[in-house]
Amino acid sequence: MSDLVQPNEEQLHQLKRWRVSTFWVMLIGYIGYYFVRGNLPVAMPLLSQEFGYSNVQLGYILTFSELAYALGKFTMGPYADIIGGKKIFMVGMIGAVVMNFLFPLYPNLIYFITIWCIARYFLSMGWGGLAKIIGAWYEPERNGVIMGIISVNFQLGGSVSALFAGELIALGVGWKGLFFWPAALVSIIALWALFASRESPQAVMPNVRFGAKAGTRSAELVLKSHSTKEIMFSLFKLPMFRELLMFSFLIHILRSFFMYWIPKFMVDMGMTSVAAAMSSAVFPLAGCLGTVALGWYTDRYAAGNRTSAMWKMLAFGTLTIAAIAPLTQFHAQYAWLIVVLLGIAGFSVYGPYSMAAGALTLDIAGSEGAGTCTGLLDGIGYIGGTVASLGTGFVADLLGWREVFIALAGFGVITTAWVAFMSRKRQ
């Protein structure tokens, strides 16, 4: 890239317009990913009512699809570094749309598991592509703020998709409509995303220096080549990356529970399906605030040790999760308080989760290795997510929801301790 030249004023204006456009495509486009992903948790109480599925049976859909998602992360994340972020982002979105259209056609548990596994495999392609694209368009010293803002897409996507699904239930579309209508909406988003984004500044102007290529990269990853094997080998040599693998496994256990089981939990607490769907939006919506706040704070005050603020947020979130456990015995009587505590937990858990998937990934790997880095981290993480997906169903059916939250608080303590250990090493 040494032959790149500085852009003139007109070129700079054009590149900035494409950067803004691409940013909005990644923000809104990944929200679209959640419209064809976050609809299943809202549909789960309806599937239970329609077909008599137990929490364990619903857990099978979540568990096997979570493993498919992990497999997709391992394979498609590195592939994004080979074929480009935009291609993988678009393929994932379109594939998930098709699977959502197919899901309601044959009501059978095995069929549901199979189709949702394929859907989740496609959905696994989105974040690696996004991280690679954003990493190419923005300077490394802005990783915390930019990835903090862009990371609100999966929290906002989770909340908006839950609200949208709740409105669909209120309109009486039934469980099938929870898959048809989001798929139709995301089809429109995909068409816009195709034309309104570019892979990198060099895809707009090949010989111009802009974005991540404009200054010295802060990424820890040093590559001799851009092969997938070299990227993986270089990543595993970094202590920070190895520590993040364990963190990703643990934090996904917490996040996966809140992402998939809140609507069913709130229905079991005595809420209607509509109210449960609306309530489930609180956790990711509060997570947006936590993500942006943590990204801003660590860029401004703790870029050299983002993990210090992370473990403190997680400690507060763990206390909040523990506080929910005794309230489950009162069912609907304290439902409002449970919803408030879920919001506080969302603020405290999503911030550190997003930091690992966003700013820390680019701190380590830069744009060159972002796909592989996010793929490996999320792949390990979603294996952890299977623990929450299936384990929650078993514990809820056998012991009750109080024991579920006690177990989650235990995982919160372990996760907080691990991040504190990471922070101590950074100091």
Domain holding 68, by residue range, is 15-205+225-426
Percent of the chain, pLDDT > 70?
Answer: 91
Higher pLDDT among residues 1 and 64, named by residue: 64
How many domains, the chain?
Answer: 1
Question: Residue 216's pLDDT band (boundaries 50, 70, 90)?
Answer: very low
Residue 267, token pair as written in the block: 């229905």
Confirm whether 213 is domain-assigned.
Answer: no
> What's the CA angle centered on 260, arms 256 and 266, to 5 degrees?
125
Residue 406, token pair as written in the block: 């006690």
Confirm whether 89 is domain-assigned.
Answer: yes
Sequence-distant (6+) residues with CB within 8 A of 72 are: 120, 121, 122, 123, 124, 125
Amino acid letter, 52: G
CA 291/CA 141 separation, integer angstroms: 17
Confirm whether 297 is domain-assigned.
Answer: yes
Percent of the chain, pLDDT > 90?
Answer: 37
Confirm whether 55 is domain-assigned.
Answer: yes
Report the DSSP beta bridge partners of residue 208. Answer: 5
Q: What is the DSSP string of 313-362?
A: HHHHHHHHHHHHHHHGGGGGGGHHHHHHHHHHHHHHHHHHHHHHHTHHHH
Convert the pLDDT of each residue in 68-83 to its tens digit: 998 998 888 777 777 8
Confirm whether 212 is domain-assigned.
Answer: no
Question: Which of 119-123, 236-240, 318-322, 406-410 comes out lowest in average pLDDT?
Answer: 236-240
Sequence-distant (6+) residues with CB within 8 A of 41 are: 162, 259, 260, 261, 262, 263, 264, 280
Inter-axis angle of helices 152-170 and 39-51, nearest 10: 40
Confirm whether 409 is domain-assigned.
Answer: yes
CA 55/CA 64 separation, integer angstroms: 14
CA 257/CA 374 separation, integer angstroms: 21
Confirm whether 214 is domain-assigned.
Answer: no
Determine whether 140 is exposed, middle or buried from the number of CB atoms within 10 Å of its CB (0-12, 13-18, 19+).
Answer: buried
Confirm whether 63 is domain-assigned.
Answer: yes
Higher pLDDT among residues 359 and 284, named by residue: 284
CA 344: distance to chain centroid? 18
Whichever domain contains 300, its CATH number is 1.20.1250.20
Q: Which runs of consecutive H residues, i.e. helices, occur in 197-281? A: 201-204, 228-236, 239-260, 262-268, 273-279
